[in-house]
Chains A and B, each alone.
Chain A
């Protein structure tokens, strides 16, 4: 079945550094991918919609200059958390949908900023 690979699965970084998270669709092409964020014991909230070949669409309250999204190919979207701070520590998860079938999620990335 459709598989979405997300890397890394966890990362610890120092405050002020940037972190890049990759989301790949392994056996299908995804023109659209979604990035969600989940704080501890909370639900998943949509951060942005990543469209191949065009600018991402960000949800209200999500800083586009802080969370850079690049969707340069039909199988890869990246989320870069720039100048990360402890409050950015969260679980980030991507999803993608092919031509058929339900949305598939990556396994998520647990980011800890110290």
Chain B
């Protein structure tokens, strides 16, 4: 069975600090996809990234970066120089190797960035 663990329930940082959100996953699939979504208080899910299991290159997008370590089954997310607008719940998710498979979500990490 697939499983996603986000051990950090809540994190609070001061603006401009860097913060890393951890994500550990379990799957028996050899091909799979990993995702990060942001959920602001309004509720919608904002897509941040999708990474397939064969692409272990780290990715950077502005202040966001992701570290995919297949050896430790982790897909961590770092926000550099955090801002108040980054305050939200962040979900890591996993899907199977074929198209049209649903996502298995972690429990989410609530990030609060304090001015």
State whether the Cβ of A89 lies closer than 8 Å to any Cβ in chain B: no
Shortest CB distance A57–B (Å): 10
Shortest CB distance B91–A (Å): 7
Within 8 A of A (CB), among B7-40: 33, 35, 37
Given contacts A31-B100, A49-B102, A102-B35, is CB(A44)–CB(B91) below 8 Å? yes
Interface size class of B (residues with CB under 8 A): 10 to 19
Whether the Cβ atoms of A102 and B47 lie closer than 8 Å is yes
State whether the Cβ of B95 lies closer than 8 Å to any Cβ in chain A: yes
Shortest CB distance B59–A (Å): 14
Interface size counted on chain A using CB atoms at 8 A: 21
**One of B43, B105, B108 near A91 (C-beta < 8 A):** B43
Using Cβ atoms and an 8 Å threshold, which residues of chain B touch A15?
none
Using Cβ atoms and an 8 Å threshold, which residues of chain B touch A32?
100
Whether the Cβ atoms of A104 and B47 lie closer than 8 Å is yes
Q: In the bound complex, what is the Cα–Cα distance between A95 and B4 (angstroms)?
A: 19
Using Cβ atoms and an 8 Å threshold, which residues of chain B touch A97?
99-100
Using Cβ atoms and an 8 Å threshold, which residues of chain B touch A113?
none
Using Cβ atoms and an 8 Å threshold, which residues of chain A touch B45?
44, 93, 105, 108
Q: In the bound complex, what is the Cα–Cα distance between A104 and B100 (angstroms)?
A: 11
**One of A43, A102, A105 near B44 (C-beta < 8 A):** A105
State whether the Cβ of A110 lies closer than 8 Å to any Cβ in chain B: yes
What are 27 A-B pairs at a CB distance below 8 A?
A34-B102, A34-B103, A36-B102, A42-B107, A43-B105, A43-B106, A43-B107, A43-B108, A44-B91, A44-B105, A45-B105, A46-B102, A91-B43, A95-B102, A95-B103, A102-B33, A102-B47, A102-B50, A103-B47, A103-B103, A105-B37, A105-B45, A107-B43, A107-B44, A108-B43, A108-B44, A110-B43
